[in-house]
Amino acid sequence: MDGKNVSPAVVITGASDGIGKSMAIAFAKRGARLGLIARRRELLEALVPELTKLGSPEVRIAVLDVTDFAAQRAALDGFEREFNGISHLVLNAGISGRATPTADGWDDIRKCLELNVFAALNAAEWMKPRMVARKSGTIAGVSSVAAIRGLPDSGAYSTSKAAISTYLESLRVDLAPFGVKVVTIAPGYIETGLTARNHGSMPFLMKSEEAGRIFAEAVLAGRKFTVAPWQYAWLIRILRILPNAVYDRIAARFMRRIRGK
């Protein structure tokens, strides 16, 4: 990108609602130019005037399914040219997934991995050499606290988030010598359409707007790892060190209960 005073050019996948929309709003308030990717045209088009009013000098949209890997790369190429370089790529598109011991969950697992992992890596790998060539930029990915341990009934989701977390960690080390930053975002329970489907208790549930602000600030600052709500940072530390036998007992009781079992 030319000029030090040019506002950031932020591209967000899964930007039409939930955390993606909340991050777009937070970036707009900070004067960022925005490229928004999502499947639902009506939601994206309705968001454009709102973001412009909040302070974004330029908002562009691309309507597509990110699991159409060629279409996603074409959209990124368009934003790259229109913005004279994407400064921040936020890989947010994702779905949750459930599994039960008595059902064949392969179709759900495949869909979860295609969206949460392969679509994110497709975009990141396209973006990586371009930022390296400029010796600047940030790639951020939305993982989850569910990446830390395998949660009950969530094998596909936990697997997908563990995969994206590990990938981002490797990418962070690889790109650091080239001046490119990599940010891992780990939400706990955030008030979105996905959590609205949960019927169990959701400890420390956070408003999407507040989470979007925290995550947008982390992306702009280039923080390596950020968690919200903050209480989950402690939960992550505890889960990492629990012996398997202890974790299994806790998971079988507590984790299933908060999911409404």
Residues 6 or more apart from 37 whose CB is under 8 A from it? 11, 12, 13, 14, 15, 61, 62, 64, 66, 72, 75, 93
Residues 6 or more apart from 90 whose CB is under 8 A from it? 10, 11, 12, 13, 20, 23, 140, 141, 142, 219
- The active-site residue out of 157, 167, 189, 232 is 157
Residue 43 to residue 51: CA distance in whole angstroms:
12
3-class SS at 190?
strand
Cα 151–208–170 angle (5° rounding)?
Answer: 55
Question: Residue 157 catalytic?
Answer: yes
At 116, phi and psi to the nearest 5? -75, -30
Q: Are 41 and 66 in contact (CB under 8 A)?
A: no
3-class SS at 210?
helix
> What single string gives the DSSP state of each residue in 69-114?
HHHHHHHHHHHHHHTTS-SEEEE---------TTS--HHHHHHHHI
Q: Are 165 and 127 in contact (CB under 8 A)?
A: no
The residues carrying an active-site annotation are 157
